[in-house]
Amino acid sequence: MEERRLKASHPMITLDQPPVVVVAVALLSRRQKHVAAAVALLSCRQKHVATALLVLRFLVNKHLLSKEFSRKKIYLCAPSLSF
C-alpha cells in the first residue's frame, strides 16, 4: 500500500532506485552539509527510508542541517512520511 502511494505521488521514482532528485537539489545548493544529507539518503533505498530519516534527524540535532532543508529532502524522497 505504501509503495502504491509513493508511485502515485512520484511515478518516476520507484522503490528500487535511490531518490536521485535529492542529489540534484543538494548539488544545486553547493553546501557540504546538504551534500552529506543527500549521500545519507542515497545510501538508503526508499524501502529503507526510516534509516534515512534517522540519519537526517541526527544531522539536524547536530546543527549540520536545517530542519527546513531536511523536510524538503524527505518530501522529495517520500511525500507520505512526515519528519
pLDDT one-digit tens code per residue, 40-50: 555 544 545 55
Predicted confidence (pLDDT) per residue in 57-74, tens digit: 666 666 655 555 555 554
Q: List the grid coordinates of 42.
A: 542515497
How far, in Å, are 13, 16, 17, 47 from residue 33 at the CA level? 24, 26, 23, 24
**Shortest CA distance to 49 belongs to which of 9, 76, 21?**
76
Domains of the chain by residue range:
2-77
Among left, alpha and beta (phi > 0; psi -120 to 50; other), residue 7 is alpha
Q: What is the pLDDT of residue 80?
A: 44
Q: Is the pTM of this model over 0.85?
A: no
Cell of 32: 557540504
How many Å apart are CA 37 and CA 82, to the nearest integer? 17
